[in-house]
Amino acid sequence: MMGTRTRDNPPRNLAVNRQATHYYHILEKFECGIELTGTEVKAIREGKASLKDGYAAVRSSEVWLLDCHIGAYLAGSYMNKEALRKRRLLLHRAEINKLIGRTEERGLTLIPLRFYLKKNLIKCELALAKGKTVFDRRDTLRRRTIERETAQEIREHRRRHS
């Protein structure tokens, strides 16, 4: 069957927060559903979602996605919702209780990493994260540069001696 997902084929990413690993240490990841309207689903499938400034917060035993921009669906007309409205995230009660305890710790926050399709439903990958200091960010960049240069040298060496 064409178009079906196998074990080797990961779910399709609809939106990715590329800056998350640059600014945060990812401690734990959660898969959660997201409460959306029909035009928001269509807009996300068209690639009009941005997780760049988004974060999540636990309020009155519910988890909410805030400052996540989902653009307007062109054919949506009056059905379109506000782009930056808050959206409820769907998690199990035990996970919410765990997040309540962990987010009360100093310096921990919830950030969305990506939107993806799973069995034709849009899911959000949420991460419990701790903010990096400027030194940590520089150190990560330095380490990445060294690893890249080392890999390049190994490739060059293999190419010359093969």
Supply the pLDDT for residue 41.
85
Supply the pLDDT for residue 59.
85
Are 60 and 101 found together in one domain?
A: yes
Q: What is the β-pairing status of strands 13-16 and 69-70?
A: unpaired
Domain harbouring 107, CATH code: 2.40.280.10
pTM of full prediction above 0.85: no
Are 154 and 123 found together in one domain?
A: no
137 contact partners, CB below 8 Å, separation of at least 6: 22, 23
Regions in the chain scoring below 50 on pLDDT: 1
Structurally, the chain folds into a number of domains equal to 2
Are 59 and 24 found together in one domain?
A: yes
Supply the pLDDT for residue 71.
80
Supply the pLDDT for residue 101.
81
Q: How far apart are CA 20 and CA 4, in angstroms?
A: 30
Are 126 and 137 found together in one domain?
A: no
Domain around 149 = 133-162
Would you call 104 helix, strand, or coil by DSSP?
coil
Q: How far apart are CA 78 and CA 120, in angstroms?
A: 25
